[in-house]
A and B are shown apart, each in its own frame.
Chain A
Amino acid sequence: MQPDAGAMAQAAVDVLPALILAGGAILIIFYALFVRRTLQVWAAALATATLAAAGYAVGVFLGEPPGVTFFGTFAVDGVNLWATAIILVVTVLTVALSVEWFDTDARQGEYYAVVLFSALGAVLLAGALDLMELVIAMMLASVTAYTMAGYHRRSRSSSEAAIKYFLLGGLANGVMVYGVALLFGLAGSTTFSELETGLAGADPLALVVGFGFVAMGVAFKLGALPAHQWMPDVAQGAPAPAAAFLLVAGKVGALVVLARLVMVLPEDLLGWRPVVALLAAATMTLGNLAALWQDDVRRLLGWSSVSQTGYGLLAVVAVGRSDLAIPSLLFFLAAYALGNMAAFGVVVELRGLTDRGAYRGLAGPHPWLIGGLAVSFLSFVGIPPLGGFAAKLLLMGAVIDAGYTWLAVLTIINSAISLFYYARVLGPAYFGAAARPRPVLGRWAGAAVLVAVVGVVAIGVVAQPLAQAWGALSLVGR
């Protein structure tokens, strides 16, 4: 097929939010190259402007009917647009958390370009309808992620996190490319729509291996078993604002693309639903058990993030079987993203304070910050009326509806377990004798925490507009 100029132009318009992100990132690279050190911090403003412009474009597109663009390789549907919106919000918050954190870093200008590129990778993931597009998005998101994790060059823990992240990621991505090649060989195409027909009579064993390998790459981005190990490492070692971003943005894109990918599979040949269910069960349970006795708050957040991935996979288990699947997916992503930004934001605002013991009695001198931490933790547990509750309610409703009641029961057991380790931080913070105030980072980080916390509460309390917008969504082509 020889694309003509008109179709190219239309395609370029259809992916405008992504193009804006790419353009902004390139602009920042040049800005950082040519501007003197004291002005580097304004790269953050440029990044914010870029994100705002991309957000505006998303807003415009939301009113339009869903469609497939870029020659069948990219979905412009509500799910992609809302996932993009979530990623953009997360990125804005990351920028706000980073301004003061990287203030003394001579290379801070380029950092924002890397952040934008990483966000772009996540956005492209959320719309991927083609295996090659999936690979490119995954690579873009991953390569930038390694850079962000290791941005503190002189910090041993940052470098360690980056290397571990890179090694696991390199393996996962390599395996994924191999899987893509297998699926391409089986179906004769890489676009999802043609995979669906092409895989119909495929050899089941080759299909299992091919899809398994692709899923391995997606699981890495998601932080799902068996490629989850980077999450606690990155949470603990990467620069805290970068860690906040890395734990969230990629997961948003990956969860959406996984939902699209499984729908392609012929369910009669490959019973993927029980497999994803088992993966979800193992991921949430392992994440929770590993978090139980953590004394490092950032590592604890990393493990809790793994368990959250497990909850998110419930939406994928139910996709195509329950009309609650898509709303639950988006509610989960929004609530998890904001909750994680809030929790990490508090850590950032406390200048990376990560020893559990150091939080003892901090509710006295820092009532608002610890209050924010409490809100985000309680949201993770699923206490109403916070966002995490709305998400879990819908997720469990979706899997019960899809015939997986045992997963809902397991979710509940895990939620109760998770309360234990969250309370190990919150309990001493509130019940210990009032401690001396800790130095805090600054206003921008504080503002980011406030926005994220308000968002967590709002998703649960003012859920109607979201439920209305998301209730009617479906994946494009379904």
Chain B
Amino acid sequence: MLTVAVFVPLAAAVALLALPKRREAWARPTAIAVSLVPLAVMVIAWIRFQLGSGFQLVESVPWIPALGITYKVGIDGLSLPLAAMSALLFTISMIYPADLRGKARQYFAAFLFLEAISLGVFLSLDLILFFVFWDLSLVGMYFLIGIWGHGDAQRSALKFFLYTLVGSLALLLGILGIYLSTPDRTFDMVEIIRTNPVPATGLASTLIFLALGLGFAVKTPLAPFHTWLPPAHVDAPAPASTILAGVLLKMGTYGFIRLSLQMMPETFQRFAFPLGVLAVISILYGALVAMAQTSLKRLIAYTSVNHMGYVILGVAAAGAMIGPESARSLALTGATIEMVAHGLITGALFLISGSILARGETYEIGAFGGLAARSPKLAGFTMLAAFASLGLPGLAGFVAEFQIFAGTLGVYPWLAGVGLLGIVITAALFLRMIQQVFLGELPPRWEGWRDLGRAEVVALVPILAFVVIIGVVPAWLVDVIDTLSRNLVGS
């Protein structure tokens, strides 16, 4: 069943490329319809998911048994929420209007390809399969930014590809290291998670951990490995930014939990504190630099660095092996919720920034003002997303950040305390942004400003609905994620 979620979009992507040019208009409806398939699969998987047990709905076919490589997919409390959130974001971002540059078939083919790849990353239970999808996500995003981006898109696309390729090649080294440590040479993730074959101490484990860590830190991104992110986000088309922030960044944090923490917990413990420090640096640095931005999209991009810092802080606390188990479990649950919440919230914010660019042809915050009067829907959605992002209680971001900090306080109280400053700064910068863009006096050049169109509303409502639902009744999500946290931390 999970295989369907990966290969239907993939096959459809190829089919779209073969679509005759005069059928260009079919591309969008076809792509949206196809993207409902993985979404439906995820809903079914959620219903059939059994709380409390490990990997489920596993499908496995030998691929290259001579090298211990298997085609193996499955879900657990970590991958299910991420895959489901990704499927939702892909459908939404295909609905969202974008400047297709007369290449509708290729655009939607690229999105479907990327959807297949992204789901593949979260569902894979074989390290090589995981890496195949991981690396292809770079290729897909490279073309999306390069072809449909604006500004200096070609340069940003290349920078993105180069930086993240360095990271992913480091990851490959780490994977090879794990592979060579397994007694019977296997890439099977379930087996590796069960046996933890890499010795807890020694040079090999340190090198493997650092290689994996570099790969994930670039993708997440953790400061100081984040420099590819702002240009890539700013020059990408808005729906691609949504996918980049909402889905691709999660691959990094997912990797930290799935590979670093689950496959080498004892080594992780040695590095938990430095990782936590890096996370706090990311939190503060991302927030402060976001505060200094005059471009709306750059601002959102830097808040991503800040939010990913929260996630890593939670993961570091969970892997620390000190402090009460309940606190560490709480931190990990919070980190995972934050991944989902950030995907939805920042995804929405990037889509909104695309709408603003389409109307105003600039991202400069200073150029706007008083837009709330002209576009109440745009203002309302933006405020909702921004409040969620700064962690207002009752919305998804609060649930996540509360658990992260509550958990981390029990493990690294100082780090949690310093990290909390990030929330204060984010609140300030979002409030200022809302004030500058939507309140105050309307500059005369925006007299003809239009409110959101139907497609935009249709796309934004489900995301923001989930942001509210997770904020008000988070139990259905928390229960699934707790399955992971309990298994991992053992409380």
A interface residues with partner B (beta carbon < 8 Å) = 378, 381-385, 389, 393-394, 396-397, 400-401, 405, 408-409, 412-413, 415-416, 419-420, 423, 427-428, 430-431, 463-464, 467-468, 471
- B136 partner, pick from A384, A408, A409, beta carbons under 8 A: A384
In the complex, whether B271 has a CB less than 8 A from a CB of chain A is: no
Across the interface, which residues of B come within 8 angstroms of A471, CB to CB? 66-67
Chain A residues with Cβ under 8 A from B67's Cβ? 394, 463, 467, 471
Whether B177 contacts A431 by the Cβ 8 Å rule is no
Contacts A427-B154, A431-B154, A467-B66 given; indicate if A378 touches B176 (C-beta within 8 A): no
B166 within 8 A of A: yes
| Complex Cα–Cα for A448 and B402 (A) | 60
Which A residues touch B169, using CB under 8 A?
382, 412, 415-416
Cα distance, A293 to B65, chains bound together (Å): 41
Q: How far does the alpha carbon of A412 sit from the alpha carbon of B146 in the complex, in Å? A: 24
| The 7 A-B residue pairs with the shortest CB-CB distance in the complex, in nearest-first order | A467-B66, A384-B132, A412-B169, A431-B146, A468-B66, A416-B166, A464-B64
CB pair B165 A409 closer than 8 Å: no
- Chain A CB count within 10 A is highest, among B136, B172, B207, for B172
Across the two chains, which residue of chain A brings its CB closest to B68? A467
**Interchain CB contact under 8 A, B146 and A430:** yes
For the complex, what is the distance from the CA of A471 to the CA of B131, rounded to whole Å? Answer: 22
A-B contact pairs, 23 of them (CB 8 A): A383-B135, A383-B139, A384-B135, A393-B172, A396-B172, A400-B177, A400-B180, A401-B180, A412-B169, A412-B170, A412-B173, A415-B169, A416-B162, A416-B165, A416-B166, A419-B162, A420-B162, A427-B157, A428-B154, A431-B147, A463-B67, A467-B67, A468-B66
For A396, list chain B residues within 8 Å (CB).
172-173, 176
- Nearest CB of chain A from residue B271's CB, rounded to whole Å: 19
Complex: A276 Cα to B140 Cα, angstroms: 37
Residue from A382, A413, A423 whose CB has the most chain B CB atoms within 10 Å: A423
Q: Chain B's nearest CB lies how many Å from the CB of A331?
A: 10
The interface on chain B, measured as residues whose beta carbon lies within 8 A of the other chain's beta carbons, has a size of 33
Chain A residues with CB under 8 A of B273:
none
Residues of B within 8 A of A384 (CB): 128, 131-132, 135-136
Q: State whether B64 touches A467 (Cβ < 8 A).
A: yes
A416-B166 Cα distance, complex, nearest whole Å: 6
User: Contacts A396-B172, A408-B173 hold; do A385 and B132 have CB atoms under 8 A apart?
Assistant: yes
CB within 8 Å of A: which of B101-137?
Answer: 128, 131-132, 135-136
Give A14 Cβ to nearest chain B Cβ, in Å: 28
Q: Which of A385, A412, A430 contacts B143 (CB 8 A)?
A: A430
Complex-state Cα separation, A430 to B140, whole angstroms: 13
Chain B residues contacting A468 (CB-CB under 8 Å) are: 65-66
B248 to chain A, nearest CB (A): 16
Q: How far, in Å, is B225 (CB) from chain A's closest CB?
A: 14
Residues of B within 8 Å of A420, CB to CB, are 158, 162
A467 to B66, CA, bound (A): 6
Known: A389-B132, A396-B172, A396-B173. 12 other contacts (CB 8 A): A382-B169, A383-B135, A384-B131, A384-B135, A389-B135, A397-B180, A400-B180, A423-B158, A427-B158, A431-B157, A467-B66, A471-B66
Assuming the contacts A416-B169, A423-B161, asked whether A464 and B177 have C-beta atoms less than 8 A apart, the reply is no
CA distance A463 to B132 in the complex (A): 14
A463–B64 contact, CB under 8 A? yes
Q: Name the distance in Å between B488's Cβ and chain A's nearest Cβ.
A: 28
Compute how far the CA of A467 lies from the CA of B64 in the bound complex, rounded to whole angstroms.
Answer: 7
Residue from A381, A382, A400, A427 within 8 A of B146 (CB atoms): A427
Bound Cα distance A176, B362 (Å):
66
Cβ of B209 within 8 Å of any chain A Cβ, yes or no, is: no
> Which residues of chain A have C-beta atoms less than 8 A from B170's C-beta?
412
Q: Closest CB-CB distance, B431 to chain A, in whole Å?
A: 38
Q: Which residues of B contact A383 (CB under 8 A)?
A: 135-136, 138-139
The 8 A CB mask of B146-161 against A (1 = contact, 0 = none) is 1100000110011001
- When distances are taken between beta carbons in the complex, the residues of chain A under 8 Å from B138 are 383
Look across to chain B and name the residue whose beta carbon is closest to the beta carbon of A461: B63
Chain A residues with CB under 8 Å of B135's CB are 383-384, 389
- What is the chain B residue whose CB lies nearest that of A414? B169
Shortest Cβ distance from residue A324 to the other chain B in the assembled complex, whole angstroms:
9
Q: Flag B60-80 by CB within 8 Å of A: 1 or 0 each.
A: 001111110000000000000
Least Cβ–Cβ distance between A472 and chain B, in angstroms = 9
- Docked Cα-Cα span, A412 to B131, in Å, equals 15
Question: Which chain A residues lie closer than 8 Å to B172 at the CB level?
Answer: 393, 396, 412
Contact of A400 among B139, B154, B157, B176 (CB under 8 A): B176
Q: Shortest beta-carbon distance, A358 to chain B, in Å?
A: 17
Closest B residue to A364 by beta carbon equals: B103
Q: Which residues of B contact A409 (CB under 8 A)?
A: 173
Query: CA–CA, A471 to B162, complex, Å?
Result: 33
* Residues of chain A lying within 8 A (CB to CB) of residue B62: 464
- Residue of A396, A420, A431 most packed against chain B (CB within 10 A): A431
Give bound CA distance, A66 to B3, whole Å: 42
Q: Bound complex: CA of A180 vs CA of B161, how far in Å?
A: 48
Residues of B within 8 Å of A413, CB to CB, are 166
CA distance A129 to B146 in the complex (A): 51
Question: Is there contact, CB below 8 Å, between A393 and B66?
Answer: no
B350 is an interface residue with CB less than 8 A from chain A: no
Residues of chain B with a CB closer than 8 A to A423's CB = 158, 161-162
Inter-chain contact B207/A405, CB cutoff 8 Å: yes
Of chain B, the residue at the smallest CB distance from A363 is B147
List residues of chain A with CB within 8 A of the CB of B132.
Answer: 384-385, 389
The complex places the Cα of A420 from the Cα of B165 at a distance, in Å, of: 11
Residue of B nearest to A412 (CB): B169
| Bound complex: CA A385 to CA B162 (Å) | 18
- Residues 35-64 of B at the A interface (beta carbon under 8 Å): 62-64
What CA separation (Å) do A467 and B62 show in the bound complex?
Answer: 13
Q: In the complex, what residue of chain B is closest to A382 when comparing beta carbons? A: B169
Chain B CB count within 10 A is highest, among A384, A389, A397, for A384
Contact B176 A419 (CB under 8 A): no
A419-B173 contact given A431-B157, A468-B66, CB 8 Å threshold: no
Q: Which residues of A contact B143 (CB under 8 A)?
A: 430
Contacts of A467 in B (CB 8 A): 64, 66-67
* Chain A residues near B179 (CB-CB < 8 A): 397
